[in-house]
Amino acid sequence: MTALHPLDATTALTPTGERRASGSTSPHYANMAGPFGGATAATLLRAALEDEACIGDPLALTVNFCAPIADGAFDVSWREVRAGKTTQHWAVELVQNGKVAASASIVCARRRETWTHRPGVMPTVPPAHTVPPLDMQGRGGWLERYNFRFVEGAPAWGEAAPAEPRSARSVLWLDDLPARPLDFLSLAALSDAFFVRIIQVRGTRQPMGTVTLTTYFHASGEVLAANGAAPILGVADAKIFHDNFADQDISLWTADGVLVATGVQVAWFKE
Amino acid sequence: MTALHPLDATTALTPTGERRASGSTSPHYANMAGPFGGATAATLLRAALEDEACIGDPLALTVNFCAPIADGAFDVSWREVRAGKTTQHWAVELVQNGKVAASASIVCARRRETWTHRPGVMPTVPPAHTVPPLDMQGRGGWLERYNFRFVEGAPAWGEAAPAEPRSARSVLWLDDLPARPLDFLSLAALSDAFFVRIIQVRGTRQPMGTVTLTTYFHASGEVLAANGAAPILGVADAKIFHDNFADQDISLWTADGVLVATGVQVAWFKE
């Protein structure tokens, strides 16, 4: 028997009733306060994708992080909000101690071949294998679950806070550690695998966390499968840090320049 | 008695029970199939903002357009999903004939003054008063509810489809018609007031519609009120049109360069 990849173990759901299941956080994806948001996003997405009524690949995922998720068990419940010929809408909730700690809306779709146009273009970057990954050994949790190969905007840990804010833009190759073929679960997790922008820009460490995350999926499951475990290029940027909240926008690309996901999030910061 | 502005009339909700109300579409914001999505977004946002338990200004709004909304009456229900010291999460549903036609998640927040940094910069554009609005007389519905003053990427209605796709980027000044002081309701509507990108890029008219819309609010109600009814600069762009779906990202700015909202959406197109 092959051991499950940590992402598959972390997002595993044990059925407990009609569209209800139990899950658990995992030290493999631990973060500062509660689990890595990407793992939570993947868990909630999994509930809908594995429902026998699911009509197709995910198109959009919004996760609201309503309260810190405590280490340990949680319950997940989901319902089909509405289904049509082309799209299907799901609502998912993660509950601990009787209270919703995270909620998600998910749109799945039956996509057919149409006119295709790709005005978005991947930045020109050196190939992943030429960019050394950050040394994350001993940092623990989700930081050890990815190779982070920064082309631009690497975190300046250990340096003094800069006199002027640094650029909010980061460009990096990302792949799962251990290696895992790309699918919608790992792509959902990757969409949150950028260090909170304020760390990069301001150079300070302070209480912070994602409040809401939206990811759009732009490729079929076949395209993701064809990528295998090859690194994905991620681009992250931000426009504003103001009165406790900052934005982030991201895009994720296969090495041959195919856009597989875009996303936005709002992150809270303390002061 | 002063007549209500069309946006206030269209988003009006009549209480029918505990966190339940009835509303109605309006010819003032009619669109190709059902109402203008921005009016629906504003209606669902209004339900949460006018709840007596609402803790503060909206931070994030995701609206899922689950099915076409028929002209006429609908029911709206909402619930507080979770509230903390800083953020509060709402879920809202719009129901017709016993089925959910649109759903929303809304995050409200108590914001305090913090470090502010604004790496996003408004494009340099001519002032609104020097840019003539499109002539929308007789086009009906929501197209007559805004002055659209295009600086870049105006719709090429009536022209033949271009041999090569046009740029997906549009830059335009927008203000309500008749004039209305800016608030979160009108800002939510403005976040959907960009012509679906495929019209601009491809030059064809075909069945299309927004599937999901996420808007982030970056300014306080006081900042919006100080804008009064002055035009807001909107910037819209897209990265991909593929297999029935296209993305859109937008930003909205006051004339003095303050970012008031950012957003993304996925729109369906037929072929």
A128 in a structural domain? no
Q: What is the Rg, in whole angstroms, of the alpha carbon atoms belonging to chain A? A: 18
Per-residue pLDDT of B68-124, as tens digits, reads 999 999 999 999 999 999 999 999 999 999 999 999 999 999 999 999 999 999 999
Is the CB of residue B134 less than 8 Å away from at least one CB of chain A?
no
Residue A119: its chain B contacts at CB < 8 A? 165, 167-168, 201, 237-240
Tell me, what DSSP letter sits at residue A30?
B
Are A64 and B89 in contact by the 8 Å Cβ rule? The answer is: yes
Interface contact flag, A89 B103, Cβ < 8 Å: yes
B window 58-87, beta carbon within 8 A of A = 59-60, 62, 64, 66-67, 81-82, 84, 86-87
B120 in a structural domain? no
Interface contact flag, B270 A114, Cβ < 8 Å: yes
Residue B109: its chain A contacts at CB < 8 A? 211, 244-245
Interface contact flag, B120 A82, Cβ < 8 Å: no
Tell me, what DSSP letter sits at residue B158?
T
Tell me, what DSSP letter sits at residue A68?
P
Is the CB of residue B212 less than 8 Å away from at least one CB of chain A?
yes
Per-residue pLDDT of A232-241, as tens digits, reads 999 999 999 9
Is the CB of residue A168 less than 8 Å away from at least one CB of chain B?
yes
Q: Where are the beta strands (DSSP E) in chain A?
A: 14-17, 20-24, 57-65, 73-83, 87-96, 99-109, 146-152, 170-176, 208-217, 232-237, 241-242, 245-253, 259-269
Per-residue pLDDT of B14-52, as tens digits, reads 999 999 999 999 999 999 889 999 999 999 999 999 999
Amino acid at A99: K
- Top residue of B66, B95, B210 to mutate, by most chain A CBs within 10 Å, is B66
Separation between Cα atoms, residue B231 and residue B177, nearest integer Å: 11
Q: What is the pLDDT of residue B3?
A: 87
- What average pLDDT does the segment B130-159 reach? 93
Q: Is the pLDDT of residue A64 over 60?
A: yes
Q: What is the pLDDT of residue A222?
A: 98
Please tell me the distance in Å from B245's CA to the nearest CA on chain A: 8
- What average pLDDT does the segment A183-198 reach? 96
Whole-structure pTM value: 0.98
In the numeric block, the tokens 């190759």 are attached to A173
The mean pLDDT value of chain A amounts to 96
Are B151 and B174 in contact by the 8 Å Cβ rule? The answer is: no
Per-residue pLDDT of B214-253, as tens digits, reads 999 999 999 999 999 999 999 999 999 999 999 999 999 9
Amino acid at A233: L
Per-residue pLDDT of A96-145, as tens digits, reads 999 999 999 999 999 999 999 999 999 999 999 999 999 998 999 999 99
Q: What is the pLDDT of residue A204?
A: 82
B118 in a structural domain? no
Q: What is the pLDDT of residue A1?
A: 53
A117 in a structural domain? no
What is the DSSP track for B33-62?
A: SSB-HHHHHHHHHHHHHTSTT--SEEEEEE
Is the CB of residue A131 less than 8 Å away from at least one CB of chain B?
no
Q: In this structure, how many other beta carbons lie within 10 angstroms of the beta carbon of residue A188?
A: 31
Facing residue for A67 by CB, picked from B84, B202, B240: B84
Is the CB of residue A114 less than 8 Å away from at least one CB of chain B?
yes
A118 in a structural domain? no
Please tell me the distance in Å from A66's CA to the nearest CA on chain B: 6
Residue B271: its chain A contacts at CB < 8 A? 112, 114-115
What is the DSSP track for A118-172?
A: ----PPP---GGGSPPP--TTS-GGGGSEEEEEEE----TTSPPPSSPPPS-EEE
Share of chain B above pLDDT 90, in %: 92
Facing residue for B105 by CB, picked from A62, A87, A216: A62
Interface contact flag, B114 A271, Cβ < 8 Å: yes
Domain residue limits at A85: 6-111+134-269
CB pairs under 8 A between A and B: 215
A83 in a structural domain? yes
Facing residue for B241 by CB, picked from A91, A116, A271: A116
State how many domains chain B has: 1
- Top residue of A88, A214, A220 to mutate, by most chain B CBs within 10 Å, is A214
Interface contact flag, B62 A62, Cβ < 8 Å: yes
A243 in a structural domain? yes
Residue B55 belongs to a domain with what CATH number?
2.40.160.210
Task: Give me B141's structure tokens.
Answer: 């519905």
Interface contact flag, A81 B91, Cβ < 8 Å: no
A80 in a structural domain? yes
